[in-house]
Amino acid sequence: MLDIKGKSILITGGTGSLGKALTKHILNNFPEIKKLVIFSRDEQKQFQMAQEYPISKYPQIRFFIGDVRDKERLVRAFQQIDYVIHAAAMKHVHIAEYNPDECIKTNIGGAENVVEACLQTKVQRVVALSTDKACAPINLYGATKLTSDKLFIAANNIKGDNPIRFSVVRYGNVMGSNGSVIPFFIKKKKNDNVLPITDPKMTRFNISLEGGVEMVMHALAYAWGGELFVPKIPSYRITDVAEAIGPDCEKPIVGIRPGEKVHEEMITASDSFYTYDLGKYYTILPATHQWNLDNFINTFKAKKVSEGFSYNSGENEDWETVETLRELIKEHVDSNFVV
């Protein structure tokens, strides 16, 4: 288990959906943490979050304005930080397609800056957030996140005798996160009773905020350096989401937006040569690593997946139904939700 007592954690993009969920989890479960730093560039979101977590009640929390594009600011922020969770990114596919240079500066340049700032300070462990769109990417957002993944994984090769460990977690759509389909559909149902369907065959992986938090904490605790963790999670059909939220709504087919896939993938057949089953998670190991593979396999009872194995939202064996989606929406998105 991870010993957080007396440690300091910094979350880049800490005012986002996952950053706020991580903050709640850490403060509730690790009250003996020394310091929790919320690093982001949005002063309004920091102001609002500070009302929710006043320093009088949460003396461990700090709010730090900064942009991952600014390496000097990161180096300053990382002073006396033990663990870094890198959640900052441009995430909207269509916005990245229209503003590619801005996406590259944040998602790739920002990743480089985080890696270099960690190596220049005394950070011990780093977990970077990825996305299923980074797997065999067809859009710029996915391509930048794949590059970011590669930067964090390769950072383990340039650390020298520094004991720091870099790892990555990759998962699908976070239920109820800002900009995701479920809150969008709920709002559309309320406003005009129309739920636009991009493609009736479309599927996505589904994970709750709590599941995302649990995965990040797992990687912080157990990563040896260089692993890319992938959760075993269910898929849903976009038509089932629409039926769960608005069975009586009009559901026009509007077509796939630029850069979208019909099905998402988290592990490709090409990744299968380096992929191991850890039970609750899969992990894609780096081609080169600084530790003994046999020791890793024995420690985690890891089992090699079969060659050609892939993990695709359309071919998943675990599926949400209309009924389970309604229960999850009420539990994780809107407790007052009614059909």
pLDDT band at 213 (very low <50, low <70, confident <90, very high): very high
Q: For 19-49, what is each residue's pLDDT tens digit?
A: 999 999 999 999 999 999 999 999 999 999 9
Average pLDDT over residues 106-112: 98
Q: Does residue 35 have an active-site annotation?
A: no
- The stretch 66-75 carries a mean pLDDT of 98
Q: Report the pLDDT value the prediction gives residue 227, as an integer from 0 to 100.
A: 98
Closest CA to 125 of 212, 33, 219: 219
Active-site position among 20, 71, 91, 133: 133
Model confidence, pTM = 0.94
Tell me, what's the pLDDT at 296?
Answer: 97
Whether the pLDDT of residue 2 is over 80: the answer is no
pLDDT at residue number 264: 94
- Average of per-residue pLDDT across 170-177: 86
Please write the tens of the pLDDT for every residue from 4-24. 889 999 999 999 999 999 999
Q: Which helix (H) or strand (E) holds 307?
A: none
Q: What is the pLDDT of residue 43?
A: 96
Q: Residue 85's pLDDT band (boundaries 50, 70, 90)?
A: very high
Q: What span, in angstroms and rounded, lies between the C-alpha atoms of 24 and 98? A: 34
For residues 43 and 54, what is the distance between their CA atoms, to the nearest angstrom? 15
What per-residue confidence (pLDDT) applies to 258? Answer: 80
CA distances 244 to 165, 183, 220, Å, are 42, 12, 35
Please name the amino acid found at residue 313.
S
Sequential DSSP letters for 162-231: ---EEEEE---EETT-TT-HHHHHHHHHHHHSB--BS-TT-EEEEE-HHHHHHHHHHHHHH--SS-EEEE
Contact by Cβ (8 Å): 41, 70? no
Cα separation values, 189 from 247, 292, 337, Å: 10, 54, 12
Taking CA 274 as the corner, what is the angle to CA 272 and CA 276, rounded to the nearest 5 degrees? 80
Mean pLDDT of 262-275: 96
Q: Tell me the residue ranges of DSSP E strands in 41-121.
A: 61-65, 83-86
Q: Looking at residues 300-304, what average pLDDT do you find?
A: 98
pLDDT tens by residue, 308-331: 999 999 999 999 999 999 999 999
* Average pLDDT across the chain, whole number: 95
**pLDDT at residue number 165:** 97
Strand order from edge to edge, sheet including 173-174 = 173-174, 203-207, 235-237
Q: How does residue 222 score in pLDDT terms, banded at 50, 70 and 90?
A: very high
Query: What percentage of the chain reaches a pLDDT higher than 90?
Result: 88
The percentage of residues in the chain with a pLDDT greater than 70, rounded to a whole number, is 100
Angle between the 238-245 and 322-332 helix axes, to the nearest 10 degrees?
A: 70
Cα(119)–Cα(155) distance, integer angstroms: 9
**Mean pLDDT score, 66-72:** 98
Interatomic CA distance for residues 312 and 234, integer angstroms: 10
Output 339 or 138, whichever has higher pLDDT: 138
β-partners of residue 204 are 236
For residue 85, list its beta bridge partners.
11, 127
CA distance 106 to 100: 10
Cα 338 to the chain's mean position, in Å?
Answer: 29
**Least confident window among 65-69, 246-250, 274-278, 334-338:** 334-338
Predicted pLDDT at 172: 84
Contact (CB, 8 A) for 256 and 262: yes
Please, which pLDDT band fits residue 255 given cuts at 50, 70 and 90?
very high
Residues 6+ apart with CB under 8 A from 249: 188, 189, 193, 194, 195, 242
Give the class (CATH, top level) of 8-171+206-233+265-312.
alpha beta
CA 291 to chain CA mean position, Å: 25
